[in-house]
Amino acid sequence: MAIRGFSRRLVSWRYVQAKVSGTWFVGMSLLALGSLGVVLTASATDPPPPESLASDAAAKPRFETVSLHGKVVWLGEALQRRYGIELDADDVRSAVALETADDLFPLAKDSRGRGFWLDERLRDTEVELLVRRYQGSPVLKVIRVFALKPDAKYELDYWCSVCSIPMYELKACECCQGPTELRLRRVDHDDP
């Protein structure tokens, strides 16, 4: 009888020990995987839950694509000239803006807008910019640049004649590292 009670306690102790050590093993395995940078995630093909789709759509800023005419100028100089606002000397030429008859629109310094910082030939000349105007933001994102000349409208970019690659800022060719040139291509239609 005493042996039976002892064997029951031994069996139940081994059962508890197996459960605890199994839990401990799983916990330690997850800890080890986490320290190795392995993360268990849902499959990439699993569809997102419906509530996250609605929040993603609400999180993306809305924009409209518009065409604006004017001159691209240093924002600091235009603020001084138009409104008497003086910026610090180191900030006068830190941003550019499209100056129209009525407004100043700062331009985003990205792959399409960066050319206005780098090439003085693009500033203080009549241009038409196809831009994205984001709801709630005064900054415009440049999509396409057109130079307006008395005889016609020209699409503007930089060109490597060796590689036949268009670029959107003055720099060495991304392919052959040779020089690029400012290219104007006549636009024969009004559609930008």
| pLDDT (tens digit per residue) in 32-67 | 444 444 444 444 455 555 555 555 556 777 999 999
| pLDDT (tens digit per residue) in 149-188 | 999 999 999 999 999 999 999 999 999 999 999 999 999 8
Higher pLDDT, 88 or 61: 88
Question: Does position 11 have pLDDT exceeding 50, yes or no?
Answer: no
| pLDDT (tens digit per residue) in 90-139 | 999 999 999 999 999 999 999 999 999 999 999 999 999 999 999 999 99
pLDDT at site 37? 47
Region 15-29: mean pLDDT is 48
In order, the DSSP letters of the chain are: -HHHHHHHHHHHHHHHHHHHHHHHHHHHHHHHHHHTT------TTSPPPHHHHHHHHHHSPPEEEEEEEEEEEEHHHHHHHHH-PPPPTTTTTS-EEEE-SS-EEEB--STTTTHHHH-GGGTTSEEEEEEEEETT--PEEEEEEEEE-SS-EEEEEEEETTTTEEESSSSS-TTT----EEEEEEE-SS--
